Structure 1
């Protein structure tokens, strides 16, 4: 049946994320293998649509059921996919039902048919965007209800595609060439998800994909031309590329061989140079000190929820203790490797205060205040720290949630 295969793939992907607790990106190749490009795109759109609107979809399903379906029931996954097709992709009602029933596979076909028929007959509409309750409460306590509403709005839509330019002096030229907007020199923004490999400038290495918030930590190291700079936890390499493009002599260190493979590929495509080191930063010894160090530490990554909505289901039982301990240990290592007067920027792509505002620098580091002129319009520093939240640049498409702190080593 046309349209059945991508919907089956979407059901399997949702099961992998919400029941088995597996990251979506790692499951795509397995469950989309053998599908045509159009079917792969449809399966991804359905899966992403469900993950972005799951609380609302589930409320519709529950309103049409005499008894709530178990959260891990296959019938619930099938209903989610069918409703996402109808309410988000405008699938005709008869096609949504016809492609849903075969997916129940021996389960309650009559129930699925009845729920969909009832909802379609009543003209059901998707409820307003909302976060899963655990995150609404968590971020409401941390940031307030206005940020919860902003996060829900950001989650509901596919985020724009941000590009970082190798030559910031060509921002206007590339903005015109790509039909993009720019929020600061060296940054371009294109609407929605893009087939970036097909865009002008990809093959020639004139830019790379990097959320605007993710580009701020390297910028806050200041002028790095000619300096010895260590990029800790560097893969997949966006910040390494920024530093190398600014003229730094970069050492890029990461523990992951597969992620470093991507970093090397990005260096080759852009024609930029860095010394790449595969090692554990907790035991590695560089044998020298650095003028500046960028530590984009391993973290919960909750700030990237708008690009990775599966995180909201994978990390519902988030235990930050181990991560905070690792972040502190990495900062202590970085402080040891700084030259006197050297600058350290610590960053996490997290909306969890424990990983950001709660982090304390080791002895020997002093707060290095961030100036307003160092940041793009609309963003203000708080002393030596910068925080991006879901409400930032809302009309322009938002940004990832980040915490950034800047320090100087004592003389």
Structure 2
């Protein structure tokens, strides 16, 4: 029996850097999301602050990766391979010092051990040369593959705005259960409101510490994410199906607006969070754990909200990893699935009822194209154009009455996530 115990690591802070390296490898090489990669990468790290630091390092690398690579390449005679471990460690070193303001000596002490058995001297030399040259944090920019995909779809101003949005932490948006309290809450918390029922605060500390959290009068929800449920308006007990509902922001909106809500999601873990949110807010909804491709309701509903699974490229400000994980083939696969889900959900709407389709994607293939294809194949439905007065100032429906939120909108107020939504009405 071996009674030896492993010696504690002599380098304080090294486990967080090791975790960041593992997370970045999972994103760049295996296509995992940072949220998924964090669980495995942070095994054995008990301190919440260390886990948060690992996420912060990985996130800043992804926000600034093209610029970081240009800096690295400017100091090497021969370019390092894209997947070289030394390149990734140098990215981590530069992100620590230039974005997170870690002193250079601390960066060297905690990052060079990541190259045990590797080219430490090279990494040390490149980093030292950049520090002596007075290197500064490069302006965020989109990966070339993403920029090349979005340029023909949305134009150069959107691509430039998206790059700028990468470097601006998104503000904190609150959705209120009772819109009548908007002005009072905004004044109490020192925030602004962009539409009744919404208050925006600067990004800051823990949400649980914001006054009013326990009272349950509001919940966190990006303003763009709150728009699809708004398109269904208020109800006096009409039945609505909220499909792919977790974590529950739209479910709570609908319940607060007087709908009888059935919230469906295929993740019991996410639905538990939804139920916790319902309990905190005092709102009610029936929850169902099921696969949307297999489940069907007992009867048709007055309204259906389908926030379909998508590439999530519209939430890149919060999740920059999506810019490196999502390729055209992923978008194509999701668009095919969305078409199937939309066709299925349409059968559950009563004649005269409403169906709202939404995705947090900046890809036309998952938004406009899916709806256009659906309407060309299902004569029961027609577009119900969204009115400008249903939206915040600075966001307007397109010529068909659909809504597309893009980087560059509401910039002076802090911006918003990328979304597409369309309201469809079942002919009577």
**SS of match in other structure, 1:163:** strand
Which of 31, 36, 49 lines up with 1:21 in the alignment?
Answer: 31
**TM-score normalised to structure 2 length:** 0.92
Calculate the aligned-residue CA RMSD, in Å. 1.6
Question: What is the number of equivalent residue pairs in this alignment?
Answer: 411
- What is the CA–CA distance in structure 2 between the aligned matches of 1:318 and 1:349, rounded to whole Å? 18
Provide the residue aligned with 2:187 in structure 1. Answer: 176
> What residue in structure 1 maps to residue 129 of structure 2?
118
Q: What is residue 71 of structure 1 aligned with on the other side?
A: 82
Distance 2:334 2:109 in 1: 46
Distance 1:391 1:364 in 2: 36
Structural mapping, 1:1-400, within 5 Å: 1-32=11-42, 33-359=44-370, 360=372, 361=375, 362-382=378-398, 383-400=400-417
Task: Tell me how far apart the structure 2 counterparts of residues 151 and 128 of structure 1 sit (CA, whole Å).
Answer: 12
Aligned-residue offset at 1:6:
2.3
Q: Is the 8 A contact 2:139 2:167 kept in 1?
A: no
> Contact between 1:158 and 1:193, CA under 8 Å: does it hold in 2?
no
For residue 317 of structure 1, report the CA deviation from its aligned partner: 4.8
- Partners of 1:161 and 1:194 within 8 A in 2: no
Query: Secondary structure of the equivalent of 1:403?
Result: strand
Encode CA deviations 1:271-305: one digit per residue, 9 max, x unaligned: 11111112222332212111111111111111111
How far, CA to CA, are the matches of 1:192 and 1:7 in structure 2? Answer: 25
Once the two structures are superposed, residues 164-185 of structure 1 have per-residue CA deviations (whole angstroms, 9 ceiling, x without a partner) of: 1112111122222322222111
Flag the 1:372–1:121 CA change in 2: closer, same or farther, 3 A: same
Q: Tell me the alpha carbon deviations over residues 240-276 of structure 1, each in whole angstroms, 9 at most, x when there is no partner.
A: 0100011110111122222222222211221111111
Relative to the length of structure 1, the TM-score reads 0.96
Q: Which residue of the partner structure matches residue 4 of structure 2?
A: none
Structure 2: gaps of 5 or more residues: 1-10
Contact 1:302 1:352 in 2 (8 A): yes
SS at match of 1:350: coil
1:152-197 CA deviation, whole Å, 9 max, x = no partner? Answer: 0011222112111112111122222322222111112222254112
CA distance in 1, matches of 2:206, 2:59: 17
| 2:425 corresponds to | 408
